[in-house]
């Protein structure tokens, strides 16, 4: 467990400042992260980036032949669970995979 003094120190080693980091940058990861979490983060980042850059948004809407507002809405809608719900048997699954790959 991190000591009281380590909690707010960003410069100490990775394992100690995770909470702090996570609170500022939601997309950061940690060694125990599952593939699903990582991919979810990637998707959210991609969507946010596309929505945030207006030219990218218009480009995509042109490609989809949709109004930019609609594309934007659809994308924001997908922010919630871009990769679907987390796999249920995640733990056993991970264990099995880890076991199989070494």
Partner 1 sequence: MADDMYAQTQPDSSMVVDDPGSTAARAGAHPSSDAARRRLIDEASAHAEDGIDPFEAHRRAQGRGPSRIVDQEDEYQQRRHKMDLSPSAGDKARSYKERMAEASVRREKEEVLGQIRAKQAAEEATAAARRAAGAVANIPSSSSSSSSSSSSSTAAAAAATAVGETAPSGGAGVQGRKRPRRWDDDGAVGATADGAAAAAAAADSMSHHFTVSTGATGGSGAAGAGRRKRASRWSDDATPVPAATVVSDGPAAPDAGGSAVPGPAKRSRWSGASSLMDATPVGGAAAQAGGASLLDATPVAGSGSSLLDATPAAGAAGGVMATPTPSALHAAAAAMAAAGSAPVARTRFEMEVEERNRPMTDEELDVLLPGEDEGYLVVAPPADYKPLMTPMRKLMATPTPAGGGATPGGFRMTSTPAAEDYGVPLPGGASATSALSAEEVPAGQTAAGADLPAIRPEEAHLFGALLDKSALEDEDDGLASDREAEAAQAARARVQEAGGSSAEADKAAAEAAAKAKRQRAERRRDVLIASSLLRVKSGDPSQRKAALRLLTNKARELGARPLFRHLLPMLMSDTLEYHERHMLVKVMDRVLYKLDDLVRPHVGRILTVIAPLLVDADYYARVEAREIISNLAKAAGLAAMVTTMRPDIDHEEDFVRNTTARSLAVVAAALGVPAMLPFLRAVCASKKSWLARHTGCKIVHQISVLLGCSVLPYVRDLVACIAHCLEDDKLKVRSMTALALAGLAEASHPYGIEAFDPVLRPLWHGVSKHRGKALAAFLKAIGFVIPLMDARYAAHATREVMPTLQREFATPDDEMRKVVLRALRQCVATEGVDAAFLRESVMDSFFASFWQRRMALDARNTSAVVETTAALAAKVGCSDVLERIVDDLRDESEPYRRMVMRCVDRIITDLGVDDVDSRLEERLLDGILYAFHSQGAAATSSATRREQREAEVVLDGFSTAMRALGPRARPYMSQVASSVKHRLNMASPDARMQAADLCERVAPVMRVTGEIGLLTHLGSVLFECLGEEYPEVLGSVLGALRSVASVLGMEALEPGPGEILPRLTPILRNRSTKVQQNCIELVGRIADRGAHLVTNAEWMRVCFQLIELLRAPRKAIRRATVNTFGYIAKAVGPQDVLITLLNNLRVAERTSRVCSTIAIAIVAETCQPFTVIPALMSEYRVPEINVQNGVLKALSFLFQYIGELGADYVYAVTPLVEDALTDRDMVHRQTACAIIKHIALGIRGMGREDALTHLLNFVWPNIFQTNGHMLSAVLEAVEGLRVALGAHRVLQYVLQGLFHPSRRVRDVYWQMYNNLYLYSADELTPYYPRIPAPPAVMDKAAELRAAELGARSRVAAAKEAAAAGLTRPGEDEAASDLEQRTWASPYRRSYLDVLF
Q: Which residues bind partner 1 (CB under 8 A)?
A: 3-4, 13-15, 21, 25, 27-31, 33, 35-36, 38-39, 42-43, 45-47, 49-50, 52, 56, 59-60, 63, 78, 82-84, 87, 89, 93, 97-98, 100-102
Nearest-approach distance from CB 82 to partner 1, in angstroms: 7
CB neighbour class for 63 (10 Å; exposed up to 12, middle 13-18, buried from 19)? exposed
**d(C-alpha 34, C-alpha 91), whole Å:** 9
CB neighbour class for 71 (10 Å; exposed up to 12, middle 13-18, buried from 19)? buried
In terms of CB distance, is 69 or 87 closer to partner 1?
Answer: 87
Nearest-approach distance from CB 5 to partner 1, in angstroms: 9
């Amino acid at each position: 467990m991190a000591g009281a003094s380590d909690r707010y120190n960003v410069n100490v080693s990775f394992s100690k400042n995770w909470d702090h980091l996570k609170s500022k940058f939601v997309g950061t990861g940690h060694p125990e992260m599952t593939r699903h979490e990582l991919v979810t983060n990637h998707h959210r980042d991609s969507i946010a980036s596309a929505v945030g850059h207006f030219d990218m948004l218009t480009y995509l809407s042109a490609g989809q032949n949709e109004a930019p507002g609609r594309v934007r809405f659809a994308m924001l809608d997908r922010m919630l669970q871009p990769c679907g719900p987390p796999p249920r048997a995640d733990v056993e699954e991970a264990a099995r995979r880890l076991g199989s790959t070494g």
